[in-house]
Amino acid sequence: MKSTCPYCGVGCGVSVDADGAVTGDVSHPANLGRLCVKGAALGDTLHASGRLLRARVDGEPVALERALDNAAARLRAIIERHGPEAVAIYASGQLLTEDYYVANKLMKGYLGAANIDTNSRLCMASAVVGYKRAFGADAVPCCYEDFAEADLVVLVGSNAAWTHPVAYQRLAQAKQQRPTMRVVTIDPRRTASADLADLHLPLRPGSDGALFSGLLHWLAQHGAIDSSMLPHLSGVEETLAAAQPWTLARAAAACELESGLLAQFYRLFTDSDRVLTLWCMGINQSAAGSDHNNAIVNVHLLSGKLGRAGCGPFSLTGQPNAMGGREVGGLANQLAAHMGFSDAECDRLQRFWRSPTVARRPGLTAVALFEAVARGEVKAVWILGTNPAASMPEGNRVAQALATCPLVIVSDVMANTDTTRFADILLPALGWGEKNGTVTNSERRISRQRAFVPPPGEAKPDWWLLAQVAQRLGFGDAFSWQHPAEIFREHAALSGFENHGQRAFDISGLAQLSDDAWDRLKPVQWPVNARFPAGCARLFGDRRFYHADGKARLLPCAAPLETVSDEGYPLLMNSGRIRDQWHTMTRTGAVPRLMQHIDEPFIALHPATAQRWGLADGDLARVQSARGWMAARVRVDGGMRLNELFAPMHWNRQFALQSHVDALVTARCCPASGQPALKQTAVRIQPLPTGWQGWLWQRNIEAPSGLRYWARAPQAGAQRLTLAGDGAARDWAQAQLATQNMQLQEAVGAAGEYRLLAWREGALQLAFYAAPRLPTLDHAQITAAFRAPPADAAGRFALLAGSRARGNDAGRIICSCFSVGETTIRQAMAQGCDSPAALGNALKCGTGCGSCLPELKQLLLTPARA
Ligand SMILES: Nc1nc2c(c(=O)[nH]1)N[C@H]1C(S)=C(S)[C@@H](COP(=O)(O)OP(=O)(O)OC[C@H]3O[C@@H](n4cnc5c(=O)[nH]c(N)nc54)[C@H](O)[C@@H]3O)O[C@H]1N2
Ligand SMILES: Nc1nc2c(c(=O)[nH]1)N[C@H]1C(S)=C(S)[C@@H](COP(=O)(O)OP(=O)(O)OC[C@H]3O[C@@H](n4cnc5c(=O)[nH]c(N)nc54)[C@H](O)[C@@H]3O)O[C@H]1N2
Ligand code: SF4
Ligand SMILES: [Mo]
């Protein structure tokens, strides 16, 4: 069975064998057989515990039919009293296109308001605005094959080595095969992605507009304008005039870069015939995100570096179906099939749907939507495939809004998330491997996700749940599909409906697929129509764009510098992703293998900044913004700029006591796109005072109370928590952990050390180790004891000691594919392994998905820490 990975926008094809083992699909053009560690671990996420298997209404389990009746009745009551504007849908780039199409049709075409928005607002909204303003259409011009053809690849605001790992591996391979290829990374942090870079520009956060305005001016100054492009462009004069003040010196000063370094980049860009710029959240998640997008597209347009192999402005999509959501009109400010809200377009859509009504003006965008919920204007919200209480900025306010909202419907695959706890009605959705449909990746490639395991419990596809409620609201005829292929055909037909070459998104060539042909559909890049029956890899080769005049538009970058300041909060906090976790961790957080690489929330900062605020590597810190605070472990990182912090976005209330980044992040938005500036929050930092720190292994997930800090990580057979508390560890343990019918084995050491094992009928129930500072333990030994307890008293005492006496602990895991840790790697280095290849031969590390290669190289360069 072939399917598509449900994580990032690379959209890798996977093959699943009869036992559910997942490998890369060698025939899929996106990955040609490769997978990253998240994709390779997909098999471990099937049959996960904690699934939502039954519907619940007001906390009580009920039959699904009753829950659907209840949802429809309550929605109807709200609409009758308050009108359709009081209802909203908040959807996700992780839904399938068919699900998404139905959600949008229900909201905009039948309820008649446009209050459907999606987590893509936090992700792609600025890119959509950028492309639409430049090309007249939300159309990504490039494809992955361009990686192999480019002379220069610019990665800006993208940590692709960790976030689009297979794409990054393709880049690495291309560079290896063609060593003349150059790579530049532009990111305030030196990340794993800088591993490939010939040049890294650690620019000041939010200064990308200045950097690319400076490049535009440089192109004009250095005769690097492609004059054959000029007849195809509008807005050239104003845009060049706006860029004129951005001399090299001024841009370098604004970006806080050495002008020589910046000039090196400008020269590389100018001198390279084929340049590909890849960008992601460092550009989009900014209060000037849309302008930063246009600043990038501008330089490609003016220099003629697009529409050819190896060239173009390529915005990477985050989620597996971020692009599909854009196609169906999942964003509140557009209609389906790339249509806007002009009268002609609204009429056309209504004609096609034969619907009673159609939304005539844009609806509320994500941040505004939850504000309207908080004000009581939106009284019902249906959340599908996203976890806004964890992932929206000002998370505590969003949680508050959901708590007071009269009707919250949540469709999810997991029972307990930060958002499901606010649900009045909880609907069990089918997850990956269980559901059937299509997704579109970063390069416009439509691929199939296929079902290969039977539906668990009463879970149903998202499209079906939506259609059932629509039917109960009286829209039966328009929502009567029996199979997702029917929905796909309708979506494909709409894309071609009265299109006449005016809308980039056109897959009318797929509108006649039989159910069978849809099921067998091979990955294909849109457009797929009479002109491109087999799809189309690159757009704009003919230099015809989608504005009415057929030209592309250069756009002056109005405010090229984003600035954040907040009295009393002198540091700037950036946030983003780590290699092995996916967003709010509902799936990846349950897989022990994926928790090995980074197992705790952290806050990264430069050694000098750490010192300035009284912190050292491994300390617990408290980070505070005007909105909230969090606790995290300090990671000293020489790749950070001074006075800046970086925190992973992943940890939330299910995985840690108080380490939720979005509780701190403010909801400042880009005025053009409504996308929040998630990368920049003004904060301060200080040590988190604790009496003791420790580790607790236990069999269940329930978190203990009375602590200052905890974060949990699943192990095979147990949950492991990192803890910190006040007072004496023993007092806390006595109060919290003393459980009946357990044999306790205790050790009280000098200097505040305390250890405790609890046994029941010879099986280890919990293990607790505490000291004033976090003790170093033999984790492998302790975890193993939950599956196979020590045979004799000596073994039990050794376990209570917990120390690394036997020296068999691998250390911090670097390679998740083969569980190879830093200690093991250092030992091999001491024995003469001096290259990633030698380490791979000796230990296999780096030979699986390859995502750890940047870190292996880093280890080879750095001496062991004392
Ligand atoms: N492992 C993993 N992969 C993922 C995901 C995941 O959760 N986990 N999520 C997927 C999704 S939905 C998305 S959207 C993508 C996101 O993929 P990326 O955007 O690559 O990931 P982030 O870590 O959010 O941020 C990228 C970089 O932007 C930098 N940055 C911050 N501010 C600025 C700035 O002002 N200018 C510039 N130039 N750079 C800046 C940050 O330092 C960071 O290194 O990842 C996708 N892939
Ligand atoms: N501070 C900060 N915040 C951020 C970001 C950042 O960089 N920094 N990045 C932002 C970005 S780019 C994104 S994309 C968002 C992501 O944020 P979210 O979308 O909130 O994160 P996920 O954990 O992916 O949530 C997906 C939810 O859908 C459920 N689910 C999985 N499969 C299915 C399914 O098939 N059907 C249904 N109905 N449910 C399913 C999962 O269990 C989970 O609860 O976070 C944003 N928030
Ligand atoms: S690169 Fe992205 S799509 Fe490919 S296997 Fe990894 S997470 Fe999945
Ligand atoms: Mo995203």
Specify the 3-state DSSP secondary structure of 630.
strand
Strands 644-648 and 571-576: parallel
Q: With 0-12 CB in 10 A as exposed, 13-18 as middle and 19+ as buried, what is 671?
A: middle
Tell me the C-alpha to C-alpha distance, in Å, between residue 758 and each of 510, 698, 802: 62, 10, 14
CA of 641 to the centre of ligand 2 (A): 28
More confident residue, 642 or 824: 642
Residues, Cβ < 5 Å to ion ligand 4: 123, 318
Measured in degrees and rounded to the nearest 5, phi and psi for residue 357 equal: -155, 165
More confident residue, 806 or 91: 91
Q: Ligand 3 pocket check: which of 2, 35, 173, 317 to mutate, most ligand atoms within 8 Å of Cβ?
A: 35
CA angle at 422 for the pair 420 and 427, rounded to the nearest 5°: 45
Element (H, E) at 207: none
* Closest by Cα among 834, 856, 854 to 845: 856
Q: Whose CA is closest to atom 2 on ligand 3?
A: 8
Tokens for 388, please give them. Answer: 């806004």
Tell whether ligand 2 has an atom less than 6 A from the beta carbon of residue 365: no
pLDDT of res. 299? 98
| Three state DSSP letters for 244-288 | CCCCHHHHHHHHCCCHHHHHHHHHHHHHCCCEEEEECHHHHCCCC
Q: Ligand 1 pocket check: which of 120, 124, 187 to mutate, most ligand atoms within 8 Å of Cβ?
A: 187
Question: Per-residue confidence at 804, pLDDT binned at 50, 70, 90?
Answer: low
**Average per-residue pLDDT in the chain?**
95
- Quote the crossing angle between the two packed helices 462-472 and 64-82, to the nearest 10°: 60
Tokens for 504, please give them. Answer: 């980039």
Output the pTM of the full model.
0.95
Q: What is the DSSP letter of 643?
A: T
Beta carbons of 163 and 577 less than 8 angstroms apart: yes
Compute the Cα dihedral for 406, 411, 416, 418 and give only its sign.
Answer: negative
Q: What is the DSSP letter of 460?
A: B
Q: How far apart are CA 101 and CA 99, in angstroms?
A: 6
Return the ligand number nearest the Cα of 582.
1
Beta carbons of 732 and 680 less than 8 angstroms apart: no
CA of 128 to the centre of ligand 4 (A): 13
* Closest by Cα among 583, 605, 614, 579 to 593: 579
Q: What is the DSSP letter of 812?
A: S
Lowest mean pLDDT segment, chosen from 319-323, 348-352, 502-506, 832-836: 832-836
Per-residue pLDDT reduced to its tens digit, 517-567: 999 999 999 999 999 999 999 999 999 999 999 999 999 987 778 888 788
Beta carbons of 359 and 392 less than 8 angstroms apart: no
pLDDT of res. 288? 96
447 contact partners, CB below 8 Å, separation of at least 6: 4, 11, 13, 28, 30, 438, 439, 440, 441, 521, 523
Span 44-55, average pLDDT: 90
CA of 836 to the centre of ligand 4 (A): 31
Lowest mean pLDDT segment, chosen from 152-161, 269-278, 569-578, 698-707: 698-707
pLDDT of res. 530? 96
Please check the confidence at residue 75 and state whether its pLDDT lies above 90.
Answer: yes
pLDDT of res. 731? 93
* Closest by Cα among 239, 252, 219 to 295: 239
Question: Per-residue confidence at 866, pLDDT binned at 50, 70, 90?
Answer: very low
Tell whether ligand 3 has an atom less than 6 A from the beta carbon of residue 5: yes
Residue that the structure tokens 């709409």 belong to? 494
Tokens for 464, please give them. Answer: 């079906």
Ligand 1 contacts (CB < 6 A) are 8, 123, 156-160, 162-163, 186-189, 191, 205-206, 208, 280-282, 286, 318-319, 574, 576-577, 579, 581-583, 679
Tell whether ligand 2 has an atom less than 6 A from the beta carbon of residue 391: yes
Please check the confidence at residue 865 and state whether its pLDDT lies above 70.
Answer: no
CA of 163 to the centre of ligand 3 (A): 8
Beta carbons of 649 and 661 less than 8 angstroms apart: yes
| CB contact burial 548-577 (16+ within 10 A = b; e otherwise) | eeebbbbbbbeebebebeeeebebbbbbbb
